[in-house]
Structure 1
Amino acid sequence: MLSKMKIGFIGTGVMGKSMVKNLLLAGYEVNIYTRTKAKAEELIRQGATWTNSVAEVASQSNVIITIVGYPQDVMEVYLNDNGIIAHANPGTYVIDMTTSKPKLAKEIYEKAMEKGIHALDAPVSGGDIGAKNGTLAIMVGGDEDAFNQVLPIFKAMGENIILQGKAGAGQHTKLSNQIAIATNMIGVCEAIVYAKKAGLNPARVLESISTGAAGSFSLSKLAPRMIEGDFDPGFYVKHFIKDMTIALESAEEMGFSTPGLSLSLQLYKQLAEKGEADSGTQALIKLFDSSI
C-alpha cells in the first residue's frame, strides 16, 4: 500500500512547507530536501527526515513530490545526472506540483517511462491558505493507474483533485487557472480603489460583493489583505509572472490571443520593477492606489 510508503519531498517554501506538515499529520514518513536546510528545521522537528541531496531523496523514497520555483529548476531536479530520474528506483511514483511547462511535463513523463518510473504533473491552486488547510485544488496529468495509486496522498494535501488527461494536462489546466486569475486581480484592485474614491468603506463593500456574481478567491481572500496593507506572500509576484509568461507562450504556440493575460503580465512586471517581486500577488493594488 502506498499509504505505508516513504514520501520524498523536494522544495519546502511557502507552499511546500505546509504540504509536508499535512503529509506528516496524515501519518506518512517524509524525507525532505531543500536548498537551505535552515528553512526546513521546523519540519525536521515535526518528524520529517532530512536528506542531503536530490539523489538521496530519490533513492530512499517510493513517492517523490517536487514543488520548486521555475521550469529550469524542474529540469535540474528531474533530468540532470544527480536528479530524480537518474536515481529513483523502478516503480517509484514522481509527482511534480510546480507550475511549469506542459512540454517539460511530457518530457519528464517519457524519460520516467524509460526507467519504469510513474510520472504525474500535478500543479496546485489555493495559495498559502489552501496549503495550510489541506484544501488545495490539484490538477493532474498522467496515467489513470498512477493517479489512483497516489490519490490518498493527494487527499492529504487537497480536496478538489481531478485527473485532467495525459501527461502535461495538469500543467495546461493550471495555466487556464492562472489566465482566469490574471484579469480578475486587475478587477479586484480597481474595485477596491473605486470604492475608496467614492467615499465608501472598502471592507464593507467586500461584504456585499464577495458573495454575489463578482465572488472569487481573489476577492474574498486577497482583497482583505490589500485593504489591511498585508502584502506578505501567499503566492509571490515573481512566481505569478513566471506562470503568466508560460501561459502566454503556450497560448501563442496554439495560435491563441490573450489580451487580458498580456495586460496583467505587463502590470505585474511593472510591479516587480518597483521592488515588489517578493511580495504577494495582492501587492498589485499599489499600482492603482497612490495612498499605499
Structure 2
Amino acid sequence: MKNMKRVGFIGIGVMGKSMSRNLMQAGFELDVYTRTKAKAQDLIDTGAVWHDTPASLAQSADVVITMVGYPSDVQEVYFGDNGILQHAKPGTYVIDMTTSKPALAEEIYAEAKKKGIFALDAPVSGGDVGARNGKLAIMAGGDEEAFQAVLPVFETMGENIILQGPAGFGQHTKLINQVTIASNMVGVCEAIAYAEHAGMDPSKVLRSITTGAAGSFSLSNLAPRMIKGDYDPGFYVKHFIKDMKLALEAAKEMDMMTPGLELSLSLYERLAANGDENLGTQALIKLFTKKA
C-alpha cells in the first residue's frame, strides 16, 4: 500500500457514501467529488478532501474510484475535458465500480494503458446493507497485477472479491447478477402476494422459506421491507431498469433468449411510469398487492 495512501471517490450516492466511509475507517486518505457537494458534507466534516472537478481529484489521488449513475456519466467522467484519463498521473489506478457497458470498460482500459494508467472495471452487488457493512461482492475485470495491487482497497469495501478475467468481464458478471435478480424479484413479489391473498402472515411464511431451496438475498433482505411498506432505496428502481437494459442489449448481441429479464424489465418500467423510479427495487410489490 506504499503508493496507495490517497483514494479518490467520485459519486457519493446511497452506496458510495458507505464505501467511502469504510475507506476512511481503514486509514486511507480520501478525496471526494460528486455533483451535489451536500451529499458528501458529512464525509468532508470527518476529514475527506473536497474537489470541485474530477480533474482535480484525479491529479491528487493514487487510486480513483468511480461509482456514478449511467454509462453516459462514466463516459463523461473518464473522457471529458475534466475527465480522469486526461488528468490522472501515470501509475494511477482507476476503478469504475458503476454498473456499465462491458465495451466501455474495454475502451477505458485501452485508453488508460496508453497513458500508463492501470484500469479495472469492478461493479458490486450487495446493496446499501452490503456497502454499509463492507461485505459487497466485487466483480473485477482487468489485469491480474493491477487487481492484486488494489486488493487492499477492495478489501475495505467487500469480502467476495474475484477477478473474473480481462477488461469488461467485471461488467459482464454484474449484468449476469442482475439477470438473476430480475426474475427472482418477480418471484419474491408473487410469493408475498400469494401469502397475503391466502390470509396468511407473510412474515411468518418468510421464516419457513428463507432457509430452504427458495432462499436468496432478495427474499431475506428485501421481502421484509416489502411487507413493512418500506420502499427507501438501497438500490433505485431507475438504476435497476438501466442495468436490465444493459443486460438485454448484451444478450441480444449474443443472440440469446431472456424471457425472465424481459418480463421483469416490463414490470419495473410500469412501476417507474407510476412515478416510483426513485424508490428502492423492493417497491415492485406495489404492483402485486392492494396493501402495498
TM range (shorter): over 0.9
Residues 143-154 of structure 1 aligned to structure 2 (within 5 Å): 143-154=143-154
Contact kept in structure 1, 2:4 and 2:63, CA below 8 Å: no
Partner amino acid for 2:240? F
Partner amino acid for 2:195? A
- SS of the residue corresponding to residue 31 of structure 1 reads strand
Residue range with higher mean Cα deviation, 190-199 or 233-242: 190-199
The 3 A distance-change label for structure 1 pair 35 and 168 is same
Residues 19-38 of structure 1 aligned to structure 2 (within 5 Å): 19-38=19-38
Q: C-alpha deviations, 1:143-180, integer Å up to 9, x for none?
A: 00000000000000000000000000000000000000
- SS of the residue corresponding to residue 164 of structure 2 reads strand
Contact kept in structure 1, 2:3 and 2:62, CA below 8 Å: no
Offset at residue 3 of structure 1 (A): 6.8
1:110 & 1:100 partners in 2: Cα distance? 16
Contact kept in structure 2, 1:90 and 1:117, CA below 8 Å: yes
For residue 242 of structure 2, what is the aligned residue in structure 1?
242
Residue range with higher mean Cα deviation, 190-199 or 2-11: 2-11
Residues 80-119 of structure 1 aligned to structure 2 (within 5 Å): 80-119=80-119
The percent of aligned pairs where both chains have the same amino acid is 67
Unmatched 5+ stretches in structure 1? none
Contact kept in structure 2, 1:119 and 1:142, CA below 8 Å: yes
- SS of the residue corresponding to residue 20 of structure 1 reads helix
1:160 & 1:231 partners in 2: Cα distance? 27
1:23 & 1:82 partners in 2: Cα distance? 24
Contact kept in structure 2, 1:8 and 1:65, CA below 8 Å: yes
Q: C-alpha deviations, 1:61-115, integer Å up to 9, x for none?
A: 1100000000000000001121000000000000000000000000000000010
Unmatched 5+ stretches in structure 2? none
Contact kept in structure 2, 1:188 and 1:219, CA below 8 Å: yes
Offset at residue 290 of structure 1 (A): 2.0
TM-score (norm 1): 0.99
For residue 6 of structure 2, what is the aligned residue in structure 1?
6
- SS of the residue corresponding to residue 285 of structure 2 reads helix
4+ residue stretches of structure 1 with deviation over 3 A? none
Q: C-alpha deviations, 1:208-234, integer Å up to 9, x for none?
A: 000000000000000000000000000
For residue 125 of structure 1, what is the aligned residue in structure 2?
125
2:202 & 2:79 partners in 1: Cα distance? 48
Q: Aligned-residue CA RMSD in angstroms?
A: 0.7
2:2 & 2:249 partners in 1: Cα distance? 37
The 3 A distance-change label for structure 1 pair 152 and 3 is farther
Contact kept in structure 1, 2:4 and 2:62, CA below 8 Å: no
Offset at residue 291 of structure 1 (A): 2.4
1:2 & 1:162 partners in 2: Cα distance? 23
1:5 & 1:149 partners in 2: Cα distance? 12
For residue 54 of structure 1, what is the aligned residue in structure 2?
54
Q: C-alpha deviations, 1:15-67, integer Å up to 9, x for none?
A: 10000000000000010000011111111112111111100000011100000
Contact kept in structure 1, 2:232 and 2:280, CA below 8 Å: yes
Contact kept in structure 2, 1:3 and 1:153, CA below 8 Å: no
For residue 67 of structure 1, what is the aligned residue in structure 2?
67
1:4 & 1:140 partners in 2: Cα distance? 19
Q: Work out the number of aligned pairs and report it.
A: 292
Contact kept in structure 2, 1:2 and 1:149, CA below 8 Å: no
